[in-house]
């Protein structure tokens, strides 16, 4: 396929490289990054979108997505697919898709999970919102860039799935870390705590797969000085998106709100920025009930 790829950062660059390596004709554009491995470079977003069957965007946020969409929608051929894989607010995803569909394009929001490792290995999970026709057309590309793609329904539902998942992830990581810190103070060895919880009803992905305690459970960022991994900054971004979405539909999300406040404090007022999101454990170790 003729693919345009806009946003060749930590995630976009390896995703574009995997498409090119699989034989697709990839033209890339990024304000800062060089051309995609195996592909060529356009001189503007509009040029990267012109005469492409699929245009993929992998951008930092909804405002940037809206600006890029305004430049590319008119440059794309009717029937082409505008595939946004960024994590953005549901409202921006729906607005951009509506503009694209209004001029005869197919539009999908398909944020990912799996991080830079998954992008590089081609093992991402895509959660997609948009039409069946759009989903079917880009499925062969999902198969190259990822291991799984779930069609979640109409436009915006991919973003909805992503922020609901990450709201669970953020809140679960916090409670896993606070439980380890409590166990420490109660004199319970971390390994014993893991042995019990990982096979009991408190088990979770954050305990069993991504354990925040160094030297316990499978290898994780905790074993590497809390280098990300998945950074606190991105966790905070996704938690804020969850609260923005919750406010927009009047959903009561007290734990999501509390998790957002905890990561906000950690990133903006403490030393959390740039660390893995599981570094909540050393944070709780140092705290008492009145800190």
Give the residues lining the site for ligand NAD (CB under 6 A): 6-12, 29-33, 45, 58-60, 64, 68, 86-87, 112, 115-116, 230, 234, 237
Check the CA dihedral 167-112-215-277 and report its sign: negative
Give the integer Cα–Cα distance in Å for 210 and 205: 6
Name the minimum Å distance from CB 9 to ligand NAD: 2
Q: Calculate ∠ Cα 231-291-260, nearest 5°.
A: 35
Give the integer Cα–Cα distance in Å for 96 and 98: 5
The answer for residues whose C-beta is within 8 angstroms of residue 138's C-beta and 6 or more apart is 54, 81, 83, 108, 110
Q: Pick between residue 53 and residue 84 the one whose CB is nearest to ligand NAD.
A: 84
Name the minimum Å distance from CB 135 to ligand NAD: 19
Q: Is 71 exposed, middle or buried (0-12, 13-18, 19+ CB in 10 A)?
A: middle
What's the token pair of residue 258? Answer: 């509390």
Q: Specify the length of the chain in residues.
A: 291
Q: Whose structure tokens read 């992008």?
A: 119
Residue in 112, 106, 121 with CA at minimum distance from that of residue 152: 112
Q: Can you give the C-alpha Rg of the chain in angstroms?
A: 20
Instruction: Indicate which residue of 2, 137, 148, 162 is catalytic.
Output: 162
Name the minimum Å distance from CB 42 to ligand NAD: 10
Q: Pick between residue 160 and residue 216 the one whose CB is nearest to ligand NAD.
A: 160
What's the token pair of residue 55? Answer: 């245009």
Q: Is 147 exposed, middle or buried (0-12, 13-18, 19+ CB in 10 A)?
A: middle
Q: Pick between residue 10 and residue 224 the one whose CB is nearest to ligand NAD.
A: 10
Name the minimum Å distance from CB 67 to ligand NAD: 6
Q: Pick between residue 61 and residue 184 the one whose CB is nearest to ligand NAD.
A: 61
Q: Pick between residue 9 and residue 38 the one whose CB is nearest to ligand NAD.
A: 9
Name the minimum Å distance from CB 205 to ligand NAD: 15
User: Could you confirm whether 162 is annotated as catalytic?
Assistant: yes
Q: Pick between residue 115 and residue 202 the one whose CB is nearest to ligand NAD.
A: 115
**Which residue minimizes CB distance to ligand NAD?**
9
Asked whether 56 and 83 are in contact (CB, 8 A), the reply is yes
Name the minimum Å distance from CB 163 to ligand NAD: 11
270: helix, coil or strand? coil
Catalytic residue list: 162
């Amino acid at each position: 396929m003729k693919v345009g790829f806009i946003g060749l950062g930590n995630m976009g660059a390896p995703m574009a490289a995997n498409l090119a390596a699989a034989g697709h004709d990839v033209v890339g554009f990024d304000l800062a990054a060089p051309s995609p491995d195996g592909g060529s470079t356009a001189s503007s977003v509009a040029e990267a979108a012109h005469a492409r069957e699929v245009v993929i965007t992998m951008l930092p946020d909804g405002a940037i997505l809206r600006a890029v969409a305004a430049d590319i929608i008119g440059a794309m051929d009717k029937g082409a697919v505008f595939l946004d894989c960024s994590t953005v607010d549901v409202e921006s995803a729906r607005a951009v898709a509506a503009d694209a569909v209004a001029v005869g394009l197919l539009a999908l929001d398909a944020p990912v999970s799996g991080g830079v490792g998954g992008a590089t290995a081609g093992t991402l999970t895509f959660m997609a919102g948009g039409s069946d026709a759009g989903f079917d057309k880009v499925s062969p590309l999902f198969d190259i860039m990822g291991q799984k793609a779930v069609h979640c329904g109409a436009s915006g539902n991919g973003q909805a799935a992503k922020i609901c998942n990450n709201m669970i992830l953020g809140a679960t990581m916090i409670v896993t870390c606070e439980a380890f810190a409590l166990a420490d103070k109660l004199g319970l060895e971390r390994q014993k705590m893991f042995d019990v919880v990982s096979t009991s009803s408190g088990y979770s992905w954050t305990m069993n797969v991504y354990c925040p305690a160094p030297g316990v459970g499978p290898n994780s960022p905790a074993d590497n000085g809390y280098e990300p991994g998945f950074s606190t900054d991105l966790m905070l971004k996704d938690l804020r998106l969850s609260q923005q979405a919750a406010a927009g539909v009047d959903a009561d999300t007290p734990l999501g709100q509390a998790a957002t406040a905890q990561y906000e404090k950690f990133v903006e007022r403490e030393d959390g920025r740039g660390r893995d999101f599981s570094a909540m454990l050393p944070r709780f170790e140092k705290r008492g009930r009145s800190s």
